[in-house]
């Protein structure tokens, strides 16, 4: 690999339709910001592509000049893989168009669209597909790692709803991958992360959802945590697929429906969505209100797009974030004891531990049906360390790592590739699980020189 000369950057600027931002340009520092402020990387040039042709040009340019490459969708990956020092960054954030064919229940989504872009276009027709819980996340990175959210119990992982993808390969070819074209590539894209090329367009299957759904929060005191968690476990054992409830343990934000005295106190939050008729859902979710004595509740019919953005205020870009994650096929009492011990010593008011409920439709495909392998996972836990001051890094990271260790005996072994931090290289194989070998073979076919290596990397076989 070698550094780019300014004449080469000038040529790049002249030849692409989008914008090329290099070190020294006024927009450089803002263009190299991503969600996690702990990431501070200095690419050689950021190519904000306008067309698939720009992507082809940038891939060929990086390969021919032997310059490292990184690909940026929504810029949310915690490991900071969207950026790389001295690299060409293919930044898709200007390619975010979403077209919906309501009759065919299909969405065509450009590679830089966010969940908010997708949900807005699909919900205009009362349609949706499973995406994540923070609307500024990129559709691309989320999908390529598997993708799950409030609709996953009913409609599966995001990848289970992918119909096709347009991919710019390491050779600069534009291929279509689907169940009938380049089928091995299509398999690999559904969980193999950004290893196989730049996806410029995704086509998804859509489902009728909302536009009004029953959703909201029920907040319990931390002192009742163990009993609430045990009842939560029993509730989820019986819950139909159209109900999704996640548990979050943290300090209460200043939510308007909570008494002021509760703000800043440790709490257990149940966050719920029912996708059926809201009036019928009330009875279904009623037991959740009786797990103890709630400090506050805010549950009712609301637009699905509002629920998709409900957590955005707690997940704004610009904070320092450090994550640790496990998958669980069951929630054991020992795990509850561990989580209670560590939530009792939260290192900052923004830190939290959540258990996201998947299961249902996410468990029905075979582990080798798509590259995403963790079909045994019923819950995905994330230890979300978050603070603003770099001086808090050491204490926050230590807390996350210690709880991660304490909870490991209860985990099912795999890990969600999209929650890995950049110091977890040794967990990458576990993230691809039994599918790693086939992924490495397909990587050899489509990217033998590992041009796409700024990701949770699969070495070509
Ligand atoms: C606040 C927050 C909430 C989240 N919630 C959820 C959730 O509910 N469910 C869930 O499943 N995940 C969730 N995630 C994790 C999320 O799926 C990953 O961070 C994902 O990598 C983000 O994708 P991105 O495009 O925004 O990221 P980026 O950092 O831009 O991209 C990540 C990687 O994906 C690859 N990539 C990106 N775009 C392309 C493309 N067009 N073609 C090829 N490769 C590409 C590249 O390798 C890149 O390094 C959340 C993340 C955050 C920060």
Residues 254, 113: one domain?
Answer: no
Q: 40, 72, 91: which is the final residue of a domain?
A: 91
Tens of pLDDT, residues 74-112: 999 999 999 999 999 999 999 999 999 999 999 999 999
Max Cα separation, the chain? 68
* Centroid of ligand 1 to alpha carbon of 281 (angstroms): 32
pLDDT of residue 2: 52
Radius of gyration of the chain (CA): 22
Question: Average pLDDT of 38-64?
Answer: 97
Residue 425 domain flag: no
Percentage of the chain exceeding pLDDT 70: 99
Residues 221, 356: one domain?
Answer: yes
> Three-class SS of residue 362?
helix
How far apart CA 11 and CA 22 sit, in angstroms, is 12
Residues 230, 244: one domain?
Answer: yes
Residue 429 domain flag: no
Residues 296, 379: one domain?
Answer: yes
Question: Average pLDDT of 173-193?
Answer: 98
CATH of the domain at 34: 3.30.43.10
CATH of the domain at 139: 3.30.465.10
66 — pLDDT class (breaks 50, 70, 90): very high
Residue 374 domain flag: yes
Indicate the top mutation candidate among 81, 142, 150 to test ligand 1's pocket, ranked by most ligand atoms within 8 A of CB: 142
Residues 192, 225: one domain?
Answer: no
Residues 105, 253: one domain?
Answer: no
Residue 461 domain flag: no
Residues 104, 167: one domain?
Answer: yes
**Does ligand 1 have an atom closer than 6 angstroms to the CB of 72?**
yes
Question: Average pLDDT of 50-67?
Answer: 97
DSSP annotation of 153 reads H
The separation between the first and the last C-alpha atoms of the chain, rounded to the nearest angstrom, is: 21
Average pLDDT score, the chain: 97
Domain that holds residue 38: 6-91
pLDDT of residue 1: 44
Sheet-wide strand order for 106-110: 98-101, 106-110, 198-205, 162-168, 174-178
Residue nearest to atom 9 of ligand 1 (CA): 132
* Centroid of ligand 1 to alpha carbon of 418 (angstroms): 6
Residues 148, 252: one domain?
Answer: no
Residue 451 domain flag: no
Ligand 1 nearest-atom number relative to CA 195 = 47
Residues 282, 300: one domain?
Answer: yes
Residue 428 domain flag: no
134 — pLDDT class (breaks 50, 70, 90): very high
Structural domains counted in the chain:
3
Give the pTM: 0.98
Q: What is the DSSP string of 374-429?
A: -TT-SEEEEEEEEES-GGGHHHHHHHHHHHHHHHGGGS-S---GGG--TT-GGGHH
pLDDT over threshold 60, residue 446 = yes
CATH of the domain at 324: 3.40.462.20
How far apart CA 201 and CA 93 sit, in angstroms, is 13
Indicate the top mutation candidate among 138, 195, 204, 455 to test ligand 1's pocket, ranked by most ligand atoms within 8 A of CB: 138
Q: 60, 91, 122: which is the final residue of a domain?
A: 91
* Centroid of ligand 1 to alpha carbon of 331 (angstroms): 26
């Amino acid at each position: 690999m070698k550094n780019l000369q300014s004449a080469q950057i000038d040529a790049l600027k002249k030849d692409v339709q989008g914008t090329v931002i290099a070190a020294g340009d006024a927009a450089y520092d803002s263009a190299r910001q991503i969600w996690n402020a702990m990431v501070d990387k200095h690419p050689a040039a950021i190519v904000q592509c306008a067309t698939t042709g720009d992507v082809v040009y940038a891939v060929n340019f990086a390969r021919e000049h032997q310059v490292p490459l990184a690909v940026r969708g929504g810029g949310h990956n915690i490991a900071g893989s969207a950026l790389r020092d001295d690299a060409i960054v293919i930044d898709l954030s200007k390619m975010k168009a979403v077209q919906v064919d309501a009759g065919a229940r299909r969405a065509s989504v450009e590679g830089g669209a966010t969940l908010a872009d997708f949900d807005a276009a699909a919900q205009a027709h009362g349609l949706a597909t499973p995406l994540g819980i923070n609307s500024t996340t990129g559709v691309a990175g989320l999908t390529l790692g598997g993708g799950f959210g409030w609709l996953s119990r009913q409609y599966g992982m995001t990848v289970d709803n992918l119909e096709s993808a347009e991919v710019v390969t390491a050779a600069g070819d534009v291929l279509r991958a689907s169940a009938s074209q380049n089928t091995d590539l299509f398999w690999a894209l559904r969980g193999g992360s950004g290893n196989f090329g730049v996806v410029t367009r995704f086509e998804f299957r859509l489902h009728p959802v909302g536009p009004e759904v029953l959703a909201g929060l029920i907040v319990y005191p931390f002192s009742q945590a163990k009993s609430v968690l045990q009842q939560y476990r029993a509730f989820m054992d019986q819950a139909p697929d159209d109900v999704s409830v996640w548990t979050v343990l943290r300090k209460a934000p200043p939510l308007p429906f909570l008494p002021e005295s509760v703000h800043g106190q440790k709490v257990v939050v149940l966050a719920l969505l029912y996708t059926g008729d809201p009036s019928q859902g009330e009875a279904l979710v009623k037991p959740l209100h009786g797990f103890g004595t709630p400090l506050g509740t805010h549950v009712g019919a609301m637009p699905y797009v509002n629920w998709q953005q409900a957590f955005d205020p707690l997940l704004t870009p610009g904070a320092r974030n450090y994550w640790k994650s496990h998958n669980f096929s069951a929630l054991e009492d020992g795990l509850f004891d561990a989580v209670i011990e560590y939530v009792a010593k939260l290192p900052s008011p923004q830190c939290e531990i959540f258990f996201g409920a998947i299961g249902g439709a996410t468990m029905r495909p075979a582990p080798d049906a798509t590259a995403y392998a963790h079909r045994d996972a019923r819950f995905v836990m994330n230890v979300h360390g978050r603070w603003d001051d770099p001086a808090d890094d050491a204490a926050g990271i230590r807390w996350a790592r210690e709880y991660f260790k304490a909870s490991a005996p209860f985990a099912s072994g795999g890990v969600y590739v999209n929650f890995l931090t950049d110091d977890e290289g040794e967990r990458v194989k576990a993230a691809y699980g039994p599918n790693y070998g086939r992924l490495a073979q397909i990587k050899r076919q489509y990217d033998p020189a590992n041009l796409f290596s700024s990701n949770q990397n699969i070495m070509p076989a």
